[in-house]
């Protein structure tokens, strides 16, 4: 597969229809922020097992001659969501992954769409109305879309735990079974909800008539979320964190995401002079995996809601700190590894417009289909991001009312010294920083085009969606000698299929100083690159 080319605009998404929605907006004169709102709405309809309007999102944005920016559209825990409240519900060990008790945080993504549209209008001269940006998604929800193999197979795989959840069967099953690949899937209630948001604005989700209905139905199902929780929510404009890399500046999202983890890995590898190793050799993979372990140790000790953090995340990106982590890596022996953070079902998308405005975006409901509950009137499938909270008062991410949950989500953006810019990212829990590492090092360090960087075999240490083991997982396309050499270094190897969804759905767009665009999409997904 070859990288796609363009000049006037480009979008990449794990479902081709979302990339096409973004491209249509760009062709109508819309900017990258407007295009991403359109893509975000479409992907929420056409890839429902991976994300929904009942989830969260994060944005990292760059526009030439303007400040780097970001949007935190993450919802906090409900005011009622305390350890005592769960004890009163008979929950003493851990918050359940599924059901109303898992739906304990506000869904922030719609507020992010609104913040992006306001930024577009105020800073980039955006003029397209929300009704236009949501038009594709409304049409797809009303008229239906062909079910992807990913949706069908994942629904079947998780059927036993999802079928009992309120509203799931009537929304996502056909005669009690997973919908068949290629069959038509409609979401008429969701179409009405999107149409209402298009008419009254994104604030309708948090403070309008729609908000009252959402809150009432969540309460009736047994969730701790109330109308006051929706009222207090707002998306926040933030300054992303930055890594000073030898090749340029790399940006990512602030905590409560693991954006700093992704940047730490790249910073460590920068100090190991990664390019001295052959690409995809055992030494290359070992270095990337061991850098990941060092960064994950910091993550699991310190990264949480920034209101509760002991350190400024930017401190973890200082040269002297990164050097200490690099010095701790043994080039000939794997560090023993334990339990990871667990699964996450997510989508990442990128858009670059003709003016060079770049958007790196991620939208999620955490586990596949989130909490599994679907609200009766609105058709909204609610996230279970808050099941990542601990009921142990001594834990780093212990549950507190109004606290933000830890997020594996982190959209990345790089500005290189040679004038190029790049947006890149992926879905996949523990795998997100690792796949970002693969895409960045293969493109920026080794000079591959985005498509080859994404298509080459990938690795994954630890847990991600659909996987609970903490082994080092390798796609079987790796050279057998590389696999055996990694085992000799002490890595516990588990082989995956040739192109395995376990390692995520990645995407990447590079913009040259001339304005030429190159993009790559993940053949492990149903995605595509759309450009003109």
Beta strand residue intervals within 321-456, DSSP E: 345-353, 358-366, 412-416, 421-425
Is residue 409 very low, low, confident or very high in pLDDT (cuts 50, 70, 90)? confident
Residue 180: pLDDT above 90?
yes
Structure confidence at residue 366 (pLDDT): 94
Q: Which residue's entry shows tokens 């279970």?
A: 384
Nearest residue to 341 via CA among 373, 376, 374, 297: 297
Listed residue (34, 32, 19, 18) closest to 128, CA to CA: 34
How high is the mean pLDDT of the chain?
A: 95
> Of all residues in the chain, what percent carry a pLDDT higher than 70?
97
Q: Is 346 a catalytic residue?
A: yes
Higher pLDDT, 337 or 499: 499
Contact in structure between 73 and 56 (CB atoms under 8 Å): yes
Which of 102-111, 341-350, 422-431, 518-527 shows the lowest per-residue confidence on average (mean pLDDT)?
341-350
Is this prediction's pTM over 0.85?
A: yes
Is 464:430 a contact under the CB 8 Å cutoff? yes
Q: Is the pLDDT of residue 481 over 90?
A: yes
Cα distances (angstroms) measured from residue 496 to each of 33, 493, 505: 36, 10, 15
Q: What is the mean pLDDT of residues 9-25?
A: 98
Catalytic residue among 193, 254, 346, 443: 346
Tell me the per-residue pLDDT of 200-211, one tens digit each, with 9 for 90 and over: 999 999 999 999
Task: Give me the pLDDT at residue 202, please.
Answer: 98
Two structure tokens written together for 410: 């982190």
| Mean pLDDT computed over 509-513 | 98
Mean pLDDT on 52-74: 93
Provide the pLDDT for residue 501.
87
Question: Does position 132 have pLDDT exceeding 70, yes or no?
Answer: yes
Give the CA count within 13 Å in the CB-facing half-sphere of 149: 6
- What's the confidence (pLDDT) of residue 1? 77
- Tens-place pLDDT, residues 137-175: 999 999 999 999 999 999 999 999 999 999 999 999 999
Give the per-residue SS3 of 98-126: CCHHHCCECCCHHHHHHHHHHHHHHHCCC
When pLDDT is averaged across residues 477-490 and rounded to a whole number, the result is: 97
Token couple for 6: 């363009």
pLDDT bucket at 388, cuts 50 / 70 / 90? very high
- Give tens-digit pLDDT for 292-317: 999 999 999 999 999 999 999 999 99
Q: Model confidence over 335-373: pLDDT tens digits? A: 998 655 555 568 999 999 999 999 999 999 999 999 999
Antiparallel, parallel or unpaired: β 9-13 and 528-531: antiparallel
Average pLDDT value for residue range 48-57? 96
- The whole-number pLDDT of residue 493 equals 96
Q: According to the model, what pLDDT value does residue 342 have? A: 52
In the predicted model, what is the mean pLDDT of residues 234-246? Answer: 97
Question: What was the pLDDT predicted at 428?
Answer: 79
Confidence of residue 393 (pLDDT cuts 50, 70, 90): very high
Residue-level pLDDT at 139: 98
149: CB partners within 8 A, 6+ apart: 181, 526
Burial profile 419-440: b = 16 or more Cβ within 10 angstroms, e = fewer: ebbbbbbbbbbbbbbbbbbbbb
Q: Mind listing the pLDDT tens digit for each residue in 74-123? A: 999 999 999 999 999 999 999 999 999 999 999 999 999 999 999 999 99
| Tens of pLDDT, residues 439-479 | 999 999 999 999 999 999 999 998 654 455 679 999 999 99
- What confidence score (pLDDT) does residue 345 get? 67
Is residue 345 helix, strand or coil?
strand
Residue 178 burial by Cβ neighbours in a 10 Å radius (0-12, 13-18, 19+): buried
* Res 17: pLDDT: 98
- Domains contained in the chain, CATH given: 23-237+345-388 (no CATH), 252-343+408-531 (3.60.20.40)
């Amino acid at each position: 597969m070859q990288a796609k080319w363009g000049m006037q605009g480009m979008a990449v998404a794990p479902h081709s229809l979302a990339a096409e929605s973004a491209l249509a907006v760009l062709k109508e004169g819309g900017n990258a922020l407007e295009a991403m709102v359109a893509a975000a709405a479409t992907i929420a309809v056409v890839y429902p097992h991976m994300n929904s309007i009942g989830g969260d999102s994060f944005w990292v944005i760059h526009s030439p001659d303007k400040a780097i920016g970001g949007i935190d559209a993450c919802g906090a825990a409900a005011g009622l969501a305390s350890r005592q409240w769960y004890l009163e519900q008979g929950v003493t060990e851990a918050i359940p992954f599924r059901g109303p008790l898992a739906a304990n945080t506000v869904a922030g993504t719609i507020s992010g769409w609104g913040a992006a549209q306001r930024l577009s209008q105020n800073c980039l001269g955006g003029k397209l109305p929300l009704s236009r940006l949501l038009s594709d998604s409304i049409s797809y929800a009303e008229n239906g879309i062909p079910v992807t193999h990913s949706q069908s197979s994942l629904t079947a795989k998780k059927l036993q735990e999802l079928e009992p959840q309120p509203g799931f069967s009537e929304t996502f099953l056909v005669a009690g079974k997973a919908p068949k690949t290629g069959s038509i899937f409609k979401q008429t209630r969701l179409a009405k909800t999107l149409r209402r948001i298009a008419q009254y604005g994104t604030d309708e989700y948090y403070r309008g008539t729609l908000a009252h209905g959402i809150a009432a139905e969540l309460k009736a199902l047994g969730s701790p979320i109330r109308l006051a929780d929706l009222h207090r929510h707002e998306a926040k404009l933030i300054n992303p964190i930055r890594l000073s890399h030898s090749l340029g500046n790399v940006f990512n999202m602030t905590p409560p995401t693991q954006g700093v983890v992704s940047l730490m890995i790249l910073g460590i590898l920068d100090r190991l002079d990664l390019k001295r190793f052959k690409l995809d050799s055992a030494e290359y993979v070992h270095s990337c995996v061991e850098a990941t372990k060092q960064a994950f140790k910091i993550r699991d000790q310190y990264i949480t809601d920034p209101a509760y953090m002991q350190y400024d995340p930017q401190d973890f990106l200082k040269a002297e700190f990164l050097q200490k982590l690099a010095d701790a890596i043994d080039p000939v022996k794997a560090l023993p590894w334990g339990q990871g953070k667990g699964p996450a079902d997510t989508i990442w998308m990128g858009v670059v417009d003709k003016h060079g405005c770049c958007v790196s975006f991620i939208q999620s409901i955490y586990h596949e289909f989130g909490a599994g509950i679907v609200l009766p009137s609105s058709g909204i499938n609610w996230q279970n991001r808050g099941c990542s909270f601990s009921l142990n008062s001594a834990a780093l991410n212990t549950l507190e009312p109004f606290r933000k949950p830890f997020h594996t989500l982190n959209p990345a953006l790089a500005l290189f010294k040679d004038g190029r810019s790049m947006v890149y990212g992926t879905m996949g829990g523990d795998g997100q920083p690792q796949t970002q590492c693969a895409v960045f090092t293969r493109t920026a360090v080794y000079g591959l085009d985005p498509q080859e960087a994404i298509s080459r075999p990938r690795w994954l240490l630890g847990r991600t969606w659909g996987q609970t083991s903490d082994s080092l997982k390798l796609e079987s396309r790796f050279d057998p000698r590389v696999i055996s050499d990694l085992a000799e270094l002490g890595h516990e190897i588990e082989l995956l299929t040739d192109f395995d969804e376990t390692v995520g759905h990645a995407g990447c767009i590079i913009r040259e100083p001339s304005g030429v665009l190159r993009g790559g999409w993940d053949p492990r997904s149903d995605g595509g690159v759309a450009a003109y």
